[in-house]
Structure 1
């Protein structure tokens, strides 16, 4: 029994991030309105990405993008996200595990692959990159995701 405990804990951790019991608190969402207003292409992608985020990411990373201390890293004002766009795309598409340092804090958790299409990965990245005060670069497309995950 004890030898199966780590596997059970890992399974619970992975499935808890995809829970169907989601609290919708849209008041916490903020938009970097300059990017959204200026570029209709990013606005459409942003809106689709917001739906993906609310379905799959919000449980661990919270409605305000601040994550859970020592468990799930923040996406809001994240130095890791800003400096590691390709690794972030790969993590969303294929999952990730192991240590990462975000805003000076080490996280060592697991993010399961979410089963998203390349378009959905691009959309959720565009949402994250333009929310909570983030302004992290150009629009990401499905083609960009395809190039990164090869």
Structure 2
């Protein structure tokens, strides 16, 4: 009886975990698709179609240590822009990125796209996370 209960409990937890993961994966895929559309209209001119950036001018987003290290910083940059020297993958960049003008959903979608493309792998970015950072800016 005890073994049956343990087996049932393990199966229940596994089923719930699988269901949650499936829902989260679907939400990430939808957000990434929306983010790709926004990226292609707003970001691609500087960061290029594969996130490679332009050498010595605009930093790469592909396999970017800077992008992936601090999510709140990435959100803030999308809200207020970036100016001054930064180091990305060991190379210095000193340009200007204007604020994107995107709403919280747009920022979450673009970040989900760029943080999960071109060799990057990140957790899902939620609208609530963006809203929280925007409130602190």
TM over 0.5: yes
Deviation at 1:56, TM superposition (A): 0.3
Aligned equivalent of 2:101: 115
Larger Rg: 2
| In 1: Cα distance, 2:39 partner to 2:22 partner | 17
Q: TM-score, normalised by structure 2?
A: 0.79
Q: TM-score, normalised by structure 1?
A: 0.73
| Alignment partner of 1:106 out of 70, 74, 92 | 92
Matched pairs, number:
115
CA RMSD after TM alignment: 1.8
- Describe the SS at the equivalent of 2:59: coil
Aligned equivalent of 2:8: none
Please state if 1:82 is matched with 2:29.
Answer: no
| Alignment partner of 2:115 out of 116, 120, 129 | 129
Aligned equivalent of 2:49: 63
> Which structure has the highest helix share of the two?
2
The unaligned stretches of length 5 or more in structure 1 are 1-34
Cα offsets for 1:81-138 (capped at 9, x unmatched):
11122111111111111111000000000000111000000000000011001102x2
- Runs ≥4 residues deviating over 2 A: 35-38
The unaligned stretches of length 5 or more in structure 2 are 1-20
- Asked whether the 8 Å contact 1:37–1:43 carries over to 2, the reply is no
Aligned equivalent of 2:28: 42
| Alignment partner of 1:141 out of 99, 108, 126 | 126
| In 2: Cα distance, 1:84 partner to 1:123 partner | 17
